[in-house]
A and B are shown apart, each in its own frame.
Chain A
Amino acid sequence: SQQGEEDPQALSIQEGENATMNCSYKTSINNLQWYRQNSGRGLVHLILIRSNEREKHSGRLRVTLDTSKKSSSLLITASRAADTASYFCATLNTNAGKSTFGDGTTLTVKP
């Protein structure tokens, strides 16, 4: 993978359940971002967590960051069919001026 791995690669749940996706990365970071991509479309920025933060919330999204383990998780609570998409974590190397994406998790929420 480019920067790290995400697991699971695919997740299928029922509407109303919670979905948890994990991301691991390899280098030191300033922050980590999560993006969502609907099939065949562009990516949409969901949430950013800085390296000095451990947890962040935005609506039904909850992100955690453990810099000692170089890992992050994205929790979507009370999932909806419209949450069906691929989710990617990304780290920004400010010195190099580029983001590196994880392999992504494909989430399917069944109505």
Chain B
Amino acid sequence: DTEVTQTPKHLVMGMTNKKSLKCEQHMGHRAMYWYKQKAKKPPELMFVYSYEKLSINESVPSRFSPECPNSSLLNLHLHALQPEDSALYLCASRRTESYNEQFFGPGTRLTVL
């Protein structure tokens, strides 16, 4: 299984809602990533988990809260988002932080009203 899955595919939420994005991989990868991507822009790194511990937080606002319950799962909890947070949220994994190839999920298209 060389796949990273993400749910949901699409999410529409109001600014007062709480929602979560989920990411799963069964490749035994120990590094997992959240990226945010705006239209016609490259992915921007948000968080990195290495061996289930948060290793990088790229100064992301606290309304985004990551969680890594186990080595296969990565969540992104969303609360009190702003319309400018609307974007494609991508999850990725690699064998370890120093390994080269990243495997990306298909993304969650988030719209904040």
Interface residues of A (CB under 8 A from B): 1-2, 31, 33, 35, 40-45, 48, 88, 90, 92, 94, 96-104, 106
Cα–Cα distance between A45 and B104 once the two chains are bound (Å): 9
Other-chain contact of A44, B50, B100, B104, B107 (Cβ < 8 Å)? B104
Tell me whether A48 and B101 are in contact (CB under 8 A).
Answer: yes
Interface stretch of the complex, out of B11-19, B38-46, B67-75, B76-84: B38-46
18 A-B pairs with CB atoms under 8 Å apart are A2-B42, A31-B100, A33-B100, A40-B107, A42-B4, A42-B105, A42-B106, A42-B107, A43-B90, A43-B104, A48-B100, A94-B97, A97-B31, A97-B56, A98-B48, A98-B56, A98-B97, A104-B40
Cα–Cα distance between A94 and B99 once the two chains are bound (Å): 8
A-B pairs with lowest CB-CB distance, top 3: A97-B97, A42-B104, A101-B42
Tell me whether B55 and A97 are in contact (CB under 8 A).
Answer: yes
Shortest Cβ distance from B11 into chain A, in angstroms? 14
Q: Does B111 contact A (CB under 8 A)?
A: no
Shortest Cβ distance from B66 into chain A, in angstroms? 14
Tell me whether A97 and B50 are in contact (CB under 8 A).
Answer: yes
Tell me whether A2 and B44 are in contact (CB under 8 A).
Answer: yes
Cα–Cα distance between A93 and B99 once the two chains are bound (Å): 10
Closest to A50 in B: B100
Shortest Cβ distance from B59 into chain A, in angstroms? 13
Tell me whether A101 and B43 are in contact (CB under 8 A).
Answer: yes
Q: Does B7 contact A (CB under 8 A)?
A: no
Tell me whether A45 and B102 are in contact (CB under 8 A).
Answer: yes
Tell me whether A41 and B107 are in contact (CB under 8 A).
Answer: yes
Q: Does B21 contact A (CB under 8 A)?
A: no
Tell me whether B102 and A41 are in contact (CB under 8 A).
Answer: no
Shortest Cβ distance from B90 into chain A, in angstroms? 6
Collect the chain A residues with CB atoms within 8 Å of residue B43's CB: 43, 88, 101
Shortest Cβ distance from A6 into chain B, in angstroms? 9
